[in-house]
Structure 1
Amino acid sequence: MGSVINDLFKSAGVSRDSVVVSVTGLPFTYRFISLPRMKPEQQEEALLRAARKEMELPFEQLYLSWQAVIKRSDEQDFFVLGVPRKPVDAVIQTMEEAGIKNFDMDIKPLSLARAANHGNVIIVELAPDCFDIVLVAQDIVSMMHTVIPRSEEPVVEYNIQRLADELSKIVEFYNAGHSRNPLSPTTPLLVTGELLTGTKTIELIQATTGYSVEPLVPPYKLPGELPVAVFASNIGLALKKASLKTAIKRHDRPYIDININVLSERERVKTSGATAKNILIALALLIGVSLVYPVYQLSGQAHLETTRLNTELVKVQQELDGRQQANNEAQQMEKKIAEIIARSESIIEGNNVFLNKGTDFASDLELVTGILPAGAVFTSVRVTGSQMFFQGKAESYTTLVSYALALEKLFSDVRIDWIDDNIVQTANNTITVSGISFNIVIDK
């Protein structure tokens, strides 16, 4: 694929200094994060700390990038994007093989929103390998989702119904979080993509979803021979190098473009913004891509399959991480259960001793407690086999020793296992000794 791209640039005779790349099916995760207003030099550390708590994948597996989107008096909202490194590194390698060292990278949903340049809209791209859904509300991208069509089912029937089901879930989820300002039922649904073959598909989507369906029309005057439905996301990529403020104005408030670079972590040469002329040249190059498509169709399919497998790999990695966490939790639970069983067995053993008709611990306990002096109390009693353990507190060493001597007259083996002073700290930080704690062991 790298050699094909290289040959295309050579034959078109265009510069490789202002290249923007995107890949169909590229997996990603994103979050909107609000931070208190702070100095610019403090933002990166604060954002990374906040994103670490929100993102599902480990940071070392992601390329992270972000953009400030909405400012308030005391807060700043950021859009934070994380893309797995493995598929991005594969793209970087391909571009290097094509002789392109410095380039920007975007995700298709953001490029579709940029191409639409609409403040409140649902955008759907119907591609053979995936359906991208983008929800733009209150002038900014709010939700992005990808549906993988089932190749064994008829696209125009079953998969359009799946698309309608996913749309319903997305809108329901958005409205649940924005009950005061839900998405209007009259929100337009803009469709584009290679599978948008004509008005019949649009009519089917409209009948299935209930939305007013229109083709996506970018805000630039384009060559008449350019198939917009096929190249809508490419047009959004070309607009990445231009300011949408200079594009056609269709709303009282401008659409907030999330113009983010997946490769912002990498050190690269920054290029200046493109003019409308440069954009048309880029679009001409895209048309050239479509003309040479039959030459590298098999290679392109292999690349898409690699992307799909990378997506599956990310999903499997997430599942493995979840199972590993569940396994760790299960091991901790097993340890706690083992401790509980051990304590239960000790209690059962003690109960069995008490219930054993061949022994008379009740009378022994009566003897032990019957001679307990007034200055001593028991805090616990435990019986194991032929031994009895008595923990308690006494007012003095003399009281404890006198009690132990009295027990020696009743049992064959009595010993004081340990003695500790009871340390008390008063409100004015004065430390005093208030009696003693002890443990006496009696062997029958």
Structure 2
Amino acid sequence: MAKRITTLYIADTDINLLVMKGKQVETWTSLALEPGLVSQGFIAEQALVAEKVRQVFKEAGVQPKDVIVALSGHDSLYRIITLPDVPEAVLPEAVRREAKRTIPTPLEEVYFSYQSVPAMKGERRVFLATFPRSPVDALVGTLRQANVKPYVMDLAPLAICRIPDVPRAIIVNTRLDHLEVMIIADRLPEVIRRLSLPGEVESLAEKLPLVAEEFNRTVLFYNSSHMDKPLDSTVPVFVCGDLAEAPETWQTLIGDRDYSVSPLPSPIEAPEGFNSNQFMINIGLALKELPAEKEEANFSLVDFNALPEAYLPEHFSMVRVLIPVGIVIGIGLIIVAVLLGANARTQIEKVRSEVTVVEDRVSQLQSDITALTSQTGSLQATANTLNNTIAALQLERAEMHEDLRVIHRKAGTMAKVTVGAITHSGSSVRVNGVASDEDAVFAYARELRESGRFSMVWIPSIRESQGAFSFAFDLTK
């Protein structure tokens, strides 16, 4: 039996609810919002929006439980980071450290989610997304007031990137107040650019020059860093939002580039009257719960739950079920014992002395158990401390291994440089070596600096001796 999937997206201008049964649209509804209730993805009036959300579910006749929701993605950042091949137990801390190093926003002000993606042997690649805390807290607070129970959250741009069944694509989503340009390569959203549009610009014709400029800038940015595999004419351009309904604007969008442009295709079955272009984000949310029908599918690989751990629904607990059952059984046993005691009082008197002996033994065993329990707590604390220490050492070893790999690999590409002693002290590294000429020393320093592994490369000394140049580098992480 096909699974029923309920999706909800609260945009600045409207609320969209879509319910699917498998890949078939079952019901849908949309409700416009007054200006100011939601601004750039932040719900400013939670009580009023919560009332609108209740109205949407009531009109659709849908129960507000097990709902997949989307966050607008405003002020969100996306990165594909490369790490040493650290153990799974160390990965969360490694990602947190790398996010702290590469994300300009303090981690205390954002939530972040990540997912491992295919990588070369010996390293680990992670897709990382960070998003501000305040819009998430406001969204969850609004849904709670509306008695809506979300269990999965996604970012709107990632939901859109999940729709095309192709490994490479450019997607342009244009709405009243913003536009997004997304580049998918090898089934991964490698570039996601979101730009707010001026409030005084109302028509698509007025927005179009800005949209075309941002499209061209994004493509140039990507191609400049992927010269081995640029976005050529074989890469399709998909449009959604306002652009999808205005084919006459597509040529202006791409300019003199030889791209094929078409509306973003919907992979679901929809009844007559359903405007898939309006519900693209909801469709992308639903695809999180719909398995691909064929192994050769090329949908986006990124599919994590961005709902912060604090807001995840509590899992079913067998203990919570067994406790009241146990209480009922215990009460029943007590009643039985009382009845039996009334009918066998004389037998109890005969064995009372034996019960006293057993009670003494039980008391002694309880004392022994208490002593063992206190020892177990101490041992557990020690074990936790050791596990944390081992995890930190493993991470430091992996970081050191990656540093040494980069240092030797960069030197290996230069025939005139030989690396000697290396002193690694956590956040700083001293590299000693010999080069055939001074230019090779500076070229090697430049290679290390451009590797992205070290924030600073300092050359404290270069000495010439018998036609060779000995050097020392101080590298800072």
Structure 2 vs 1, CA of residues 271 and 143 (structure 1 numbering), >3 Å: closer, same or farther?
farther
TM-score (norm 1): 0.56
Whether the 8 Å CA contact 1:205–1:213 is kept in 2: the answer is: no
Structure 2 vs 1, CA of residues 75 and 204 (structure 1 numbering), >3 Å: closer, same or farther?
same
Aligned to 1:364: none
Q: Which of 46, 52, 68 does residue 20 from structure 1 map onto?
A: 68
Q: Which runs of 4+ in 1 moved over 6 A?
A: none
Q: Amino acid of the residue matched to residue 256 of structure 1?
A: S
* Structure 1 runs not aligned, ≥5 long: 273-444
Aligned to 1:127: 175
Count of aligned pairs: 268
Separation in 2 of the partners of 1:209 and 1:103? Answer: 43
Q: Percent identity?
A: 29
Separation in 2 of the partners of 1:52 and 1:206? Answer: 37
Q: Amino acid of the residue matched to residue 309 of structure 2?
A: E
TM-score (norm 2): 0.52
Pairing 1:231–2:275 present:
no
Counterpart secondary structure, 1:254: coil
Q: Which of 178, 182, 189 does residue 141 from structure 1 map onto?
A: 189
Aligned to 1:85: 133
Whether the 8 Å CA contact 1:147–1:163 is kept in 2: the answer is: no
Higher strand share: 2
Q: Please state how far the C-alpha of 1:9 moved relative to its aligned partner.
A: 1.9
Structure 2 vs 1, CA of residues 24 and 2 (structure 1 numbering), >3 Å: closer, same or farther?
same
Separation in 2 of the partners of 1:147 and 1:83? Answer: 15
Q: Please state how far the C-alpha of 1:18 moved relative to its aligned partner.
A: 2.5
Counterpart secondary structure, 1:219: coil
Pairing 1:50–2:98 present:
yes
* Structure 2 runs not aligned, ≥5 long: 1-48, 317-477
RMSD across aligned C-alpha pairs, in angstroms?
2.4
Counterpart secondary structure, 1:183: coil
Aligned to 2:116: 68
Separation in 1 of the partners of 2:182 and 2:126? Answer: 18
Separation in 1 of the partners of 2:117 and 2:170? Answer: 20
Whether the 8 Å CA contact 2:180–2:193 is kept in 1: the answer is: yes
Structure with bigger gyration radius: 1
Whether the 8 Å CA contact 2:67–2:149 is kept in 1: the answer is: no
Q: Which of 188, 191, 196 does residue 244 from structure 2 map onto?
A: 196
Counterpart secondary structure, 2:79: strand
Counterpart secondary structure, 2:124: strand
Aligned pairs for 1:235-314 within 5 A: 235-243=283-291, 245-246=292-293, 252=296, 254-269=298-313
Pairing 1:114–2:162 present:
yes
Q: Please state how far the C-alpha of 1:209 moved relative to its aligned partner.
A: 6.0
Aligned pairs for 1:428-443 within 5 A: none
Whether the 8 Å CA contact 2:113–2:304 is kept in 1: the answer is: yes
Cα deviation digits, residues 398-425 of structure 1 (max 9, x gap): xxxxxxxxxxxxxxxxxxxxxxxxxxxx
Separation in 2 of the partners of 1:6 and 1:203? Answer: 42
Counterpart secondary structure, 2:116: strand
Counterpart secondary structure, 2:99: helix
Q: Please state how far the C-alpha of 1:149 moved relative to its aligned partner.
A: 2.2
Cα deviation digits, residues 324-379 of structure 1 (max 9, x gap): xxxxxxxxxxxxxxxxxxxxxxxxxxxxxxxxxxxxxxxxxxxxxxxxxxxxxxxx
Whether the 8 Å CA contact 2:181–2:218 is kept in 1: the answer is: no
Whether the 8 Å CA contact 1:18–1:271 is kept in 2: the answer is: no
Counterpart secondary structure, 1:262: coil
